A = this chain, B = another copy of it.
Amino acid sequence: MLPNVLEVARRLIRERIAEGETVVDATMGNGNDTLFLAQLVGAGGRVIAYDIQPEAVEKTSARLEREGVREWVELRLASHEEIGKIEEPVGAIMFNLGYLPGGDKTVTTTAESTIRAIQAGLARLRPEGIMTIMVYWGHPAGVKEKDAVEALCESLDQSQVLVLKYQYVNQQNQAPFLLAIERR
């Protein structure tokens, strides 16, 4: 069976990231991707994860503790626009656009801050590094955000990055799709 979009995102990252690397979860949420990244880079690696909701940071922290990977993860209660402050090149950056599942549906990523965060992230991505953006756009601000992110992606210089759009096109209910940006 063709894999779902989340599986594809993780496979793209797994193929490119070695133990010991520095990687970023731009949208911590329930910590699913944070945990995935922490296990991938291992104790010698470094994960930096962002969320503006204290609830997300608390839940993720507890979860990482339970899984024994908390030590090499930095959880930041801050906007993902702060990715630009990271001092070193990073190998992978994961975005999940939308709202925190099970949380307050009125708190979503927005077009403006997402665009700034993606641009800041691209500036930190090492050569052959990858950014994955899962676009969940079935919420009120989702269409505007989706359109802005797609427009940005389409405008990126093909001599600098390759942008893949991976989408199942015969789905109902505004199914999520994947954008993956690979630095050359």
- Among A133-169, those with CB < 8 Å from B are 150, 153-158, 161-169
The interface on chain A, measured as residues whose beta carbon lies within 8 A of the other chain's beta carbons, has a size of: 26
- A180 at interface (Cβ–Cβ under 8 A)? yes
Q: Which residue of B lies closest to A150 (CB)?
A: B169
Chain A interface (Cβ < 8 Å from any Cβ of B): 1-2, 12, 128, 150, 153-158, 161-172, 179-180, 182
State how many copies of this chain the complex holds: 2
Docked CA distance A116–B96 (Å): 39
Across the A-B interface, the 3 shortest Cβ-Cβ residue pairs: A163-B170, A156-B170, A165-B169
Which chain B residues border A179 with CB–CB below 8 Å?
A: 169
Q: A1-B182, A2-B180 known; A170 and B161 CB under 8 Å?
A: yes
Instruction: Say yes or no: A162 contacts B170, CB within 8 Å.
Output: yes
Q: List 11 A-B contacts (CB under 8 A).
A: A1-B162, A1-B182, A2-B162, A150-B169, A153-B170, A154-B169, A164-B169, A165-B165, A165-B167, A165-B169, A169-B179
Q: Name the contact of A164 in the complex, choosing from B156, B157, B166, B180 (C-beta under 8 A).
A: B166
Instruction: Say yes or no: A168 contacts B164, CB within 8 Å.
Output: yes
Pick from A128, A157, A163, A180 the residue with the most CB of B within 10 Å. Answer: A163
Q: Which residue of B lies closest to A5 (CB)?
A: B164
Instruction: Say yes or no: B155 contacts A163, CB within 8 Å.
Output: no
Instruction: Say yes or no: B166 contacts A166, CB within 8 Å.
Output: yes
Given contacts A154-B170, A164-B169, A165-B168, 7 further A-B contacts (CB under 8 A): A1-B182, A2-B180, A163-B168, A163-B170, A165-B165, A165-B166, A165-B169
